[in-house]
């Protein structure tokens, strides 16, 4: 999957999870930047991402994702490892 | 180096605090006189130290504040009486005020209400309660000595006027703004709410004796004698049946009284007259107004006897 | 000694001065020795326990870092957590477990007199145990590297400002700071002392004054009217905020004076518009710990259960929070209540968000006000359980509040407390909605700043509760 595709799909997931149809993603975006994004809704985000992209995160992955850019990179790597 | 600037700033701040502390002292003393004028019955310690007088003066804690009625005593004994009783103040407070009153104005008789564990070491709460004497720390040697016993660094803390008057500001403002019920020469009548009377407690007691307190107790006795003031010690009635026969503190106290020939009127403490009637009591330790009337009458008769015996001899 | 003892007023400047005077390489040692000195002054025997926990933490983190197999790492992690948490469980819960076992056996008709030992709890154990476990897990997750100097690890767990009551720090935040301890800058010292001043005001003037009223009422539930109990229940959360918040500020300020930045613990909690937001503003270091090490892993593992997983994780996390505070049943119930509130919020979250967006409620002041008040009501309701000694008492209080009314007592205790509390409320209000508008400690004018410091200092000296003797001035 291309990075643009990932970002597009992810944006839709974010908009749905956090009930904000105008949300646009940035690499440096964190929980502080989005209303309704806290540890509660984070888990819903994770599940939605897993369902939409068709893979499962590991617990270690969670700790590595400090901002949205990290999440995008991680998803990319999941697909890279699949194609390789 | 910025640290130099910081040190200078701190050095500029300290005099500001000292000046404010100093000014606060004057302000508090001014407020104190206003409070004492408006509501003397709310400023018991100050009134006792500065103004209280009578041929007979009564000292002790809440049991005597609500237990002896000066107007009744005046009728029976024919002398002026003032009740300097104050809530929650054990030995060291009384030590300070009795000694100070003796220096200011010698009464003819001092009645001092004590309990069976009077010479026991004070608790932390007891010592904390001595803050009521803070206003006299700088001017009164007894208060100075006793307050310094509160903690290791108390003399350092008391340098600050602001600290001395800690929490007093609320008291002072309350006494300036409002007036509490007037007392009968220091007596504050108590009545039971809703006819709830206490139930009798039984047991035995044996408290230890604190040697510093015992020495200070003797000091007061000797000062009374030297000032030619008649000292009479009393145990007020309590609604309890406590066996004090093995109470070393109480036995010591009785010994001291014997040694210095000080009468200790203790027959009313556990007399059937009181133990058989709970309606005389507010709770196990305090008499109510009805009980105070009875106790005052009985005590006056006893005092008359003691004084007559003295004159005969 | 604690922060409120006079000894600390002597200890603190000496430590700061010596810290800045000794050479850089001696500073970690110096702080470690000062921290143990501080702890030994309070509880000499338990300094040994702290040292033992430190050594265990060091050895297990070293084992995990050096282990080559993931199975080995995992085993060491589990064993390490068990070893480190055992003293906490023993000291805190022994008597409760004992009691429960005895009661159960009794029910089965077995009368076995189990030994009942009553002993003091080591102060700070809840805090340093959590810090040690957090560090262990972080090393396992490779969030933070293994610290090879046992002196630094020792300081991490014993660091005197945060040792007794937190904030609960994370290794990743504080170990790097211990590795390069610099001299305090003047900005550090001034910022630190300002925090300490405000912290002392919160603790001595507000928390302890409110405490006089709250304690008097809650210790005499039978004779207190419903109105008085209501007043005390409303004031109790403020007392807690000022108490732990104040103490935390002193801790953070002391650390700051040494140039060390410690995470904040409170962020104006009563301006939260939901319970979940309250928990992002109240005792933040504890919540972050619970979120990182309990809630997130748990909710992650249970994510297949969707909302059920989140609710389970929430309930468990807050029950653990409850029993971490105290072994009493009332705290278990308190934790349970928090879990229920947050679960309800989680379940209804999407609906509520859509509703609020439809009417643009989040921007409306009246809605914000109602939300804050509602959250406060829920929180103070739950705190009644934490404050009462037993569940029975708590229900008694609630019953009285709802049914009985009567006069409010203790006005002479209440008025000074409210006067002092108003300072905190005004400051928090301005900081929340109009930041930078009311600057006193931060004012550009040095005279305004100094007068502000002096004013707060005066309030502390004249109205702080220094001893329980204050009570005798005010009788019902």
Express each pLDDT in B122-151 by its tens digit.
998 889 889 889 989 999 999 999 999 988
CA C232 – CA C395 distance, rounded (Å):
15
Phi, psi of C124, rounded to the nearest 5 degrees: 85, -5
pTM over 0.80: yes
Q: How many CB atoms lie within 10 A of CB B165?
A: 24
Please report the pLDDT score of residue B57 as a whole number. Answer: 96
Q: Considering C165, C182, C199, which residue would you say is the last residue of a domain? A: C182
Number of structural domains, chain B?
1
| Contact assignment for B167 to C415 by CB distance below 8 Å | no
The single residue listed with the structure tokens 């000296």 is C461
The burial of C388, by beta-carbon neighbours within 10 Å (0-12 exposed, 13-18 middle, 19 or more buried), is given as buried
Lookup: tokens for A75 = 């998803």
pLDDT grade, residue A20 (50/70/90)? confident
The pLDDT, as a whole number, for residue C253 is 97
Chain B contact set for C446 (CB, 8 A): 9
Topology of the domain covering A3-83: 1.10.1200
Average pLDDT over chain C, rounded to whole? 90
- pLDDT tier, C179 (very low <50, low <70, confident <90, very high otherwise): very high
* DSSP tag of B198: P
Q: Is A30 helix (H, G, I), strand (E, B) or coil?
A: coil
Number of Cβ within 10 Å of residue C164's Cβ equals 19
Average pLDDT of chain B? 91
Residue C474 has pLDDT above 50, yes or no: no
Percent of chain B with pLDDT over 70: 98
Do B166 and C463 lie within an 8 Å CB cutoff? yes
CA distance B166 to B135: 10
* H or E element, residue B113: strand B109-113
Going by pLDDT thresholds of 50, 70 and 90, the confidence category of residue B86 is very high
Cα A57 to its chain centre, rounded Å, is 11
Distance between CA B19 and CA A80 in Å, rounded?
Answer: 74
Q: Is pLDDT above 80 for A80? A: no
Nearest chain C Cα distance for residue B226, angstroms: 34
Tokens 């501080």 locate to: C38
Same domain, C208 and C301: yes
Count of structural domains, chain C:
2
Give the per-residue pLDDT at C117.
Answer: 62
Give Cα C250 distance to the centre of its chain: 13
C467/B131 Cβ within 8 A: yes
Q: Are C81 and C136 in contact (CB under 8 A)?
A: yes
Does C41 share its domain with C178?
Answer: yes
Instruction: Provide the shortest C-alpha distance from residue B64 to chain C (in Å).
Output: 17
C153: its two tokens: 């690890």
**Please, is A51 exposed, middle or buried when counting C-beta atoms within 10 Å of its C-beta (0-12, 13-18, 19+)?**
exposed
* C171 and C194 both lie in a single domain: no
**Residue C385 included in any domain:** yes
- Decide if C457 touches B, using CB distance below 8 A: yes
Size of interface A-C (CB pairs under 8 A): 45
Residue C291 contacts A where some CB pair is shorter than 8 Å: yes
* C378-426: pLDDT as tens digits: 999 999 999 998 899 999 999 999 988 888 888 888 999 999 999 999 9
Would you place residue A25 in the very low, low, confident or very high pLDDT band (cuts 50, 70, 90)?
A: confident
Q: Which of C303, C342, C354 sits opposite A43 (nearest CB)?
A: C303
pLDDT digits (tens, 9 = 90+) for A28-39: 888 888 877 888
**How far is B26 from B29, CA to CA, in rounded Å?**
5
CA distance C300 to chain A (A): 7
d(CA B40, CA B176): 10
Residue B36: CA count within 13 A, CB half-sphere: 16
Confidence band for C113, pLDDT divided at 50, 70 and 90: low
Inter-chain residue contact C450 with B163, CB threshold 8 Å: no
Q: How far is CA C112 from the centre of its chain?
A: 38
pLDDT at position C199 over 50:
yes
Residue C288 contacts A where some CB pair is shorter than 8 Å = no
C1 found inside a domain: no
Neighbours of chain B (3+ CB pairs under 8 A): C
| pLDDT (0 to 100) of residue C119 | 65
pLDDT digits (tens, 9 = 90+) for C144-171: 999 999 999 999 999 999 998 889 999 9
According to the model, what pLDDT value does residue B117 have? 92
Best CA proximity match to B17, nearest among C9, C21, C57, C453: C453
Find the CATH number of the domain harbouring B270. 3.40.50.1110
Q: At residue B243, what are phi and psi to the nearest 5 degrees? A: -90, 110
Q: How far is A51 from chain C (nearest CA, A)?
A: 11
Average the pLDDT over A51-61 and give the result. Answer: 86
Spatial contact of B48 and B97, defined as CB atoms under 8 Å apart? yes
Inter-residue contact C49 to C128 (CB < 8 Å):
no
Both C321 and C177 in one domain: the answer is no
Spatial CB neighbours of B162, under 8 Å, sequence gap ≥ 6: B20, B21, B24, C458, C461, C462
C349/A41 CB distance under 8 A: yes
Kindly indicate the confidence band of residue A83, based on its pLDDT and cuts at 50, 70 and 90. low
The number of angstroms, rounded, from the C-alpha of B267 to the middle of its chain's C-alpha atoms is: 22
CB interface of B with C, residues 272-291, below 8 Å: none
Chains near C with 3+ CB pairs less than 8 A apart are: A, B
Q: Do chains A and B touch (3 or more CB pairs under 8 A)?
A: no
Write out chain A residues lying below 8 Å of C280, CB-based. 38
For residue C143, the chain A residue with the least C-alpha distance is A63
Q: What is the pLDDT of residue C475?
A: 35
The alpha carbon of residue C450 is apart from the nearest alpha carbon of chain B, in Å, by: 7
CA angle B276, B281, B283 (to 5 degrees): 115
Structural domain for C172, as ranges? 6-182
SS3 per residue for chain C: CCCCCHHHHHHHHHHHHHHHHCCHHHHHHHHHHHHHHHHHCCCHHHHHHHHHHHHHHHHHHHHHHHCCCHHHHHHHHHHHHHHHHHHHHHHHHHHHHHHHHHHHHHHCCCCCCCCCCCCCCCCCHHHHHHHHHHHHHHHHCCCCCCCCCHHHHHHHHHCHHHHCCCCCCCHHHHHHHHHCCCCCCHHHHHHHHHHHHHHHHHHHHHHHHHHHHHHHHHCCCCCCCHHHHHHHHHHHHHHHHHHHHHHHHHHHHHHHHCCCCCCCCCCCHHHCCCHHHHHHHCCHHHHHHHHHHHHHHHHHHCHHHCHHHHHHHHHHHHHHHHHHHCCCHHHHHHHHHHHHHHHHHHHCHHHHHHHHHHCCHHHCHHHHHHHHHHHHHHHHHHHHHHHCCCHHHHHHHHHHHHHCCCCCCCHHHHHHHHHHHHHHHHHHHHHHHCCCCCCCCCCCCHHHHHHHHHHHHHHHHHHCCCCHHHHHHCCC
Of C141, C300, C345, the CB nearest to A43: C300
Please tell me the distance from the alpha carbon of residue C243 to that of residue C164, in angstroms, as a whole number: 13
User: Which chain A residue lies closest to C280 (C-alpha atoms)?
Assistant: A38
Q: What is the mean pLDDT of residues C68-82?
A: 94
pLDDT tops 50 at residue A53? yes
Write the residue in C416, C453, C472 that is nearest to B170 by C-beta: C416
Predicted pLDDT at B140: 94
C325 catalytically annotated: yes
Sign of the CA dihedral running C154, C159, C164, C166: negative
Instruction: Please state, in angstroms and rounded to a whole number, the distance separating the CA atoms of residues C352 and C12.
Output: 49
The domain limits of chain A are: 3-83
- Alpha-carbon distance C211 to C410, whole Å? 12
Contact C6, B153 (CB under 8 A): yes
Q: Domain check: are C132 and C209 in the same one?
A: no
Q: A46, C303: Cβ pair inside 8 Å?
A: yes
Residue C367 class from Cβ within 10 Å (0-12 exposed, 13-18 middle, 19+ buried)? middle
Identify the closest residue of chain C to A36 by CA–CA distance.
Answer: C353
Task: List the structure tokens of B117.
Answer: 């564990």
Asked if residue C188 lies in contact with residue C259, where contact means CB atoms within 8 angstroms, the answer is yes
| Range of lowest pLDDT (C54-63, C181-190, C372-381) | C181-190
Contact across the interface for A40 and C310, Cβ inside 8 Å: yes
Please indicate, yes or no, whether residues C129 and C62 belong to a single structural domain of this protein. Answer: yes
**What pLDDT, on a 0 to 100 scale, did the predictor assign at position B312?**
58
Residue C95 neighbours by CB under 8 Å, 6+ apart:
C116, C117, C118, C327
Marked catalytic residue, from C325, C405, C423, C450: C325
pLDDT of residue C370: 94
Neighbours of C235 (CB within 10 A): 21
Last residue of a domain, one of C182, C211, C231: C182
A58 burial via Cβ count (<10 Å: 0-12, 13-18, 19+): exposed
B310: buried, middle or exposed (CB in 10 Å: 19+, 13-18, 0-12)? exposed
C468 has pLDDT over 90: no
Percent of chain B with pLDDT over 90: 69
Q: Does C276 touch chain A (CB under 8 A)?
A: yes
Q: Containing domain of residue B40, as a range?
A: 2-312
Look at the block and give the residue holding tokens 């009637």. B277
* Nearest-CA distance C435 → chain A (Å): 18
Nearest chain C alpha carbon to A35: C353
Q: Is B264 an 8 Å CB contact of chain C? A: no
Which runs of consecutive H residues, i.e. helices, occur in B89-165?
91-104, 124-128, 141-148, 154-157, 161-164
- Residue C159: HSE in the Cβ half-sphere, 13 Å Cα cutoff: 31
């Amino acid at each position: 999957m291309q990075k643009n595709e990932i970002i597009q799909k992810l944006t839709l997931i974010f908009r749905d999870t956090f009930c904000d149809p105008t949300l646009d993603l940035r690499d440096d975006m964190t929980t502080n930047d989005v209303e309704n994004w806290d540890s509660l809704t984070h888990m819903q985000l994770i599940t939605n991402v897993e369902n939409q992209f068709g893979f499962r995160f590991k617990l270690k992955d969670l700790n590595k994702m400090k901002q949205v850019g990290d999440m995008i990179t991680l998803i990319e790597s999941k697909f890279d490892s699949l194609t390789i | 180096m910025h640290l130099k600037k910081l040190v200078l700033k701190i050095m500029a701040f300290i005099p500001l605090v000292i000046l404010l502390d100093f000014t606060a002292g004057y302000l508090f003393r001014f407020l104190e006189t206003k409070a004492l004028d408006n509501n003397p019955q709310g400023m018991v310690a100050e009134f006792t130290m500065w103004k209280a007088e009578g041929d007979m003066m009564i000292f002790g804690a809440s049991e005597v504040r609500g237990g002896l009625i000066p107007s009744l005593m005046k009728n029976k004994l024919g002398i002026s009486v003032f009740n300097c009783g104050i809530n929650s103040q054990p030995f060291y407070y009384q030590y300070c005020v009795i000694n100070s009153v003796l220096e200011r104005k010698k009464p003819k008789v001092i009645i001092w209400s004590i309990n069976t564990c009077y010479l026991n070491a004070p608790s932390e709460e007891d010592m904390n309660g001595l803050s009521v004497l803070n206003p006299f720390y700088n001017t009164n040697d007894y208060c100075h000595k006793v307050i310094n016993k509160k903690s290791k660094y108390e003399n350092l803390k008391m340098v600050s006027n602001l600290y001395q008057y800690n929490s007093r500001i609320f008291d002072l403002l309350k006494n300036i703004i409002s007036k509490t019920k007037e007392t009968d020469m220091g007596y504050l009548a108590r009545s039971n709410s809703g006819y709830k009377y206490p139930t009798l407690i039984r047991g035995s007691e044996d408290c230890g004796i604190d040697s510093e307190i015992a020495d200070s107790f003797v000091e007061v006795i000797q000062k009374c004698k030297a000032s030619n003031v008649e000292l009479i010690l009393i145990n007020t009635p309590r609604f309890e049946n406590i066996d004090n026969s093995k109470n070393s503190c109480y036995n010591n106290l009785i010994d001291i009284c014997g040694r210095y020939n000080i009468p200790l009127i203790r027959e009313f403490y556990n007399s059937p007259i009181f133990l058989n009637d709970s309606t005389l009591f507010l709770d196990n330790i305090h008499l109510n107004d009805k009980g105070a009337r009875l106790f005052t009458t009985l005590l006056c008769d006893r005092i008359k006897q003691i004084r007559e015996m003295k004159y005969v001899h | 000694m604690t922060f409120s003892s006079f000894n600390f007023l002597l200890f603190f400047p000496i430590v700061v001065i010596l810290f800045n005077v000794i050479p850089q390489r001696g500073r970690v040692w110096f702080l470690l020795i000062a921290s143990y000195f501080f702890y030994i002054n309070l509880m000499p025997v338990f300094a040994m326990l702290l040292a033992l926990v430190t050594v265990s933490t060091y050895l297990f983190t070293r084992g995990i870092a050096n282990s080559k197999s993931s199975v080995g790492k995992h085993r060491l992690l589990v064993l390490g957590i068990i070893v480190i948490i055992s003293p906490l469980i023993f000291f805190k819960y022994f008597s409760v477990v004992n009691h429960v076992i005895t009661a159960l056996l009794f029910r089965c008709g077995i009368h076995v007199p189990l030994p009942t030992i009553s002993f003091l709890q080591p102060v700070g154990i809840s805090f340093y145990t959590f810090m040690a476990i957090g560090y262990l897990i972080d090393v396992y997750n490779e969030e933070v590297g293994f610290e090879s100097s046992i002196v630094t690890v020792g300081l991490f767990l014993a660091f005197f400002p945060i040792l007794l009551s937190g904030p609960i720090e994370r290794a990743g935040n504080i170990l790097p700071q211990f590795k390069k301890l610099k001299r305090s800058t003047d900005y550090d010292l001034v910022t630190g002392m300002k925090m300490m001043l405000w912290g002392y005001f919160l603790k001595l003037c507000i928390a302890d004054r409110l405490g006089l009223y709250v304690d008097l009422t809650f210790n005499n539930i039978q004779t207190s009217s419903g109105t008085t109990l209501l007043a005390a229940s409303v004031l109790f959360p403020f007392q807690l905020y000022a108490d732990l918040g104040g103490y935390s500020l002193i801790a953070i300020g002391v650390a700051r004076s040494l140039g060390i930045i410690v995470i904040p613990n409170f962020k104006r909690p009563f301006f939260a518009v939901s319970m979940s937001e309250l928990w992002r503003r109240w005792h933040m270091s504890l919540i972050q710990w619970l979120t990182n090490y309990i809630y997130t892993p748990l909710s992650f593992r249970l994510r297949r259960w969707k909302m059920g997983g989140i609710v389970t994780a929430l309930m468990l996390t807050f029950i653990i929070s409850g029993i971490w505070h105290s072994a009493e049943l009332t705290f278990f119930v308190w934790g349970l209540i928090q879990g229920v509130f947050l679960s309800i919020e989680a379940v209804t979250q999407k609906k509520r968000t859509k509703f609020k967006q439809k009417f643009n409620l989040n921007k409306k002041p009246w809605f914000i006000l109602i939300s804050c008040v509602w959250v406060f009501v829920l929180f103070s309701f739950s705190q009644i359980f934490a404050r009462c000694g037993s569940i029975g008492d708590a229900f008694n209080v609630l019953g009285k509040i709802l049914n009985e009314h009567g006069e409010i007592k203790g006005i002479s205790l209440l008025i000074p407390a409210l006067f002092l509390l108003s300072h905190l409320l005004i400051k928090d209000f301005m900081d929340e909605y109009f930041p930078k508008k009311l600057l006193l400690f931060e004012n550009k004018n040095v005279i305004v700043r100094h007068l502000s410091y002096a004013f707060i200092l005066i309030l502390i000296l004249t109205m702080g509760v220094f001893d329980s003797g204050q009570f005798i001035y005010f009788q019902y």
